Amino acid sequence: MLSPEPPAEAVMPPLFPRTLAADLPLAGCTAAEVSERLTGADPRALLMALVHLTRDADALTVFAAVCEPGAADDDLTAALRDRLAAVLTEPPSAEAGAPLPDALMQAMAATFAREPVAAEFLPVLRDQCGFDTLDADPTPPAADGGFHVAVIGAGLTGIAAAVKLAEAGHTYRIYERNSDVGGVWLVNQYPGVGVDTPSHFYSYSFAVNPDWPAFYSSGDVVLGYLRRCADAYGIRAHTSFDTHVESCAWDEADRRWTLTTRHADGTVSRDHADAVVSAIGFFQDPKYPDIPGLADFAGTVVHTAAWDPGLDLAGRRVALVGTGASAMQTAPAIVDDVAALTVFQRQPAWIQPRRAANLTVPEGALWAMRHVPYYAEWFRTITYWFASDANYATITADPDWRGADTAISAASDKLRQILVAYAQAELADRPDLLAKAVPAYPPFGKRILRDADWYRMLRRDHVDLCTEPIDRIIPEGIRTADGTVTEAEVLILATGFHLLPMLRSVTVTGRGGTVLADVWGDEDPRAHLGVTVPGFPNLFVLSGPNSSPGHGAGNNFVSEVQIHYVLACLDLLRERGLRTLEPTEEAHAAYADDVDATMAGLVWSHPSVRSYYRNAAGRVVVTNPWRLVDYWHMLRKPDPAAHVLG
């Protein structure tokens, strides 16, 4: 029996100590030295930090050109650095550390975005970019009246859930089948693994990290960040590692969940919780392709999600199956080592252009993250803005669009032209590769991937891109439908994870003995607001049906939004002296209808798109159909009328 247990610590020293407005002036350096150290920092974030500290809206006009690509000259940028350096080396104004007025924040956002920013975005930016954390009350609430919550999974979402549950005065226990925290970042150890969402946003809003070494960090760096967060918040003491949750069953008499868990030594335990939060995520177990003869291969077979760190590829002939995110990172990382590499492609992916030859964070930016109040939050804000709802127009179909079927609107076609032009530039001397590498579906139909030298890797003399369907695996390699045999000593399966059925590893039984797997079937999961299901009280499925942010940002955004909703549901029960919550059948059905109706007008429903976002019947079950700002507002608090409370 592991519950109830003492509340987790909710108050701690800053995880990433940084200079705050109240800490000014900076000690030990002159204004001229500060200005010099800011060389290389993002001028847009410097401008936002200046205005945030001074509340001088006129500076937005004076320095507006630093937000226009290619418009700012060196003198203007230097003047901005000098102006900010003077502020940093003087005592702060009385209002420097106070929350920004909405009107000023809106003007600042419009300046860096170079377009009007609606007021609906302001609370989202404050919440998701770290500003609210700076203004938060450090006093934790009392644990009296709190719930004991079982959290399944200690990845990015599970860690965040634990932190926020503790802050809200609830006790929790995490059950993690692996031996450490990290989730997919612990499991994925293949060469080249890393984020394709910018690091400064792919992180927690409550733990803004000033020390990312690169704008797109490697997997070991991300894992290190998650471990550091888990250690700082004392999460390991509340986690059962090497523990697989076999089942969760609702006990109607006790009005709580019984969890059956199996430990590494084979022993079985039964624990109880008032609520269950599934933080298993979208990606569950490695997905092995159903290719005839796979067991007959005489060489080494390795899946990217079950990588053997001792595998030596030097001088070996390698066949790689897949062209998704893991393949696009693995192949360029191993190409210099192998004797020959053949990539087997079923469908190409759209690839976003390289933003710079060197993605290392400059020293001036690192210094600013640490020493300039609000710089890190504003850099995160700018990163989020251009990697999230700014993309929504490109995934929305225009019913009057009469252009090529490889786009769904003028915005979609504009993006397509940019991506095609990039492919053409990278493969200018290889028209044979270009014909294979450009997708025949609209952008965002499948996940757009970041170029990690994929095109340049394909051009290497010892690399071949095969688009002929695979017939079968044979002992010496792969035979394709045209009879060609590609000999290989190592077979790498970059074929992703199982997404369906969701919660496939846990048997969840709700009211009246109803099993969630029977309700959802193998491929048709649905949940109210992507989180709750009728008949399953106090069960919260994070990263559940139609939750993935397919047009931008990262899963961290949706995780935090959904965790906030979980806490709001528990708060509603606590305020009313009640114990259980579940959506009504009517609310659940209405939301499902809204999802399907909205999805019909988005790129993922386009007839040319084949992806893991859709089930066998063609219904999109993974991606979220709303703008992120819409979803954020939808999940601020539960509607009591849409729920059965008890």
Q: pLDDT, tens digit, for every residue of 369-400?
A: 999 999 999 999 999 999 999 999 999 999 99
**Is the pLDDT reported for residue 646 higher than 60?**
yes
Average pLDDT, the chain: 95
> Rounded distance, CA 159 to CA 165, Å?
10
All residues at 6 or more sequence positions from 416 whose CB lies less than 8 Å from its CB, including other chains: 406, 407, 442, 443
DSSP per-residue codes, 335-348: TTT-SEEEEE-SS-
* Token digits of residue 30: 């002159």
**Tell me, what's the pLDDT at 139?**
64
- Report the range of poorest mean pLDDT among 147-156, 167-176, 348-357, 628-637: 348-357
What is the per-residue burial (b if ≥16 Cβ within 10 Å, else e) of 194-231?
A: bbbbbbbbbbbbbbbbbebeebbbbbebbbebbbebbe
**Tell me, what's the pLDDT at 284?**
87
520-547 pLDDT, tens per residue?
999 999 999 999 999 999 999 999 999 9
**Which amino acid appears at position 270 of this protein?**
R
Percent of the chain with pLDDT over 90: 90
Contact 67, 379 (CB under 8 A): no
**Which amino acid appears at position 310 of this protein?**
G
Q: Which of 159, 174, 162, 165 is nearest to 141 (CA)?
A: 165
Alpha-carbon distance values, 387 to 200, 203, 220, 382, 543 (Å): 11, 14, 23, 9, 19
User: Topology of domain 148-285+499-645, per CATH?
Assistant: FAD/NAD(P)-binding domain (3.50.50)
**Is the pLDDT reported for residue 4 higher than 60?**
no
SS (H, E, C) 286-327: ECCCCCCCHHHCCCEEEEHHHCCCCCCCCCCEEEEECCCHHH
**Is the pLDDT reported for residue 14 higher than 80?**
no
**Is the pLDDT reported for residue 11 higher than 70?**
no
Give residue 550's pLDDT band: very low, low, confident or very high (50, 70, 90): very high
pTM of the model: 0.96
* Token digits of residue 402: 């009469």
Return the bridge partners of 58, or none: none
All residues at 6 or more sequence positions from 9 whose CB lies less than 8 Å from its CB, including other chains: 166, 233, 234
SS (H, E, C) 376-412: HHHHHHHHHHHCCHHHHHHHECCCCCCCCCCCCCHHH
Q: Give residue for tokens 């010892």.
A: 462
274-320 pLDDT, tens per residue?
999 999 988 889 999 999 999 999 999 999 999 999 999 999 999 99
Return the bridge partners of 463, or none: 341
Q: Which of 343, 355, 328 is nearest to 436 (CA)?
A: 343
**Which amino acid appears at position 594 of this protein?**
D
**Is the pLDDT reported for residue 147 higher than 60?**
yes
All residues at 6 or more sequence positions from 211 whose CB lies less than 8 Å from its CB, including other chains: 16, 366, 369, 370
CATH superfamily, domain 294-350+407-440+443-493, is FAD/NAD(P)-binding domain (3.50.50.60)
Give residue 140's pLDDT band: very low, low, confident or very high (50, 70, 90): low
* Token digits of residue 410: 């003028």
Give residue 13's pLDDT band: very low, low, confident or very high (50, 70, 90): low
**Is the pLDDT reported for residue 264 higher than 50?**
yes
**Tell me, what's the pLDDT at 538?**
98
592-609 pLDDT, tens per residue?
999 999 999 999 999 999
Ranges in the chain annotated CATH 3.50.50.60: 148-285+499-645, 294-350+407-440+443-493
**Tell me, what's the pLDDT at 1?**
33
**Tell me, what's the pLDDT at 143?**
56
Exposure of 314 in the CB half-sphere (CA atoms within 13 A): 2
How far is C-alpha 507 from the geometric centre of its chain's CA atoms?
26
**Which amino acid appears at position 3 of this protein?**
S
Residue range 341-367: mean pLDDT, rounded? 94
Contact 617, 524 (CB under 8 A): yes
* Token digits of residue 62: 């004076």
**Tell me, what's the pLDDT at 54?**
97
All residues at 6 or more sequence positions from 521 whose CB lies less than 8 Å from its CB, including other chains: 501
Tell me the chain's radius of gyration from C-alpha atoms.
26
> Rounded distance, CA 236 to CA 219, Å?
21
552-594 pLDDT, tens per residue?
888 999 999 999 999 999 999 999 999 999 999 999 999 999 9
Q: Which of 543, 549, 560 is nearest to 130 (CA)?
A: 560
**Tell me, what's the pLDDT at 72?**
72
**Tell me, what's the pLDDT at 2?**
39
DSSP per-residue codes, 561-600: HHHHHHHHHHHHHHHHT---EEE-HHHHHHHHHHHHHHHT
**Is the pLDDT reported for residue 144 higher than 70?**
no
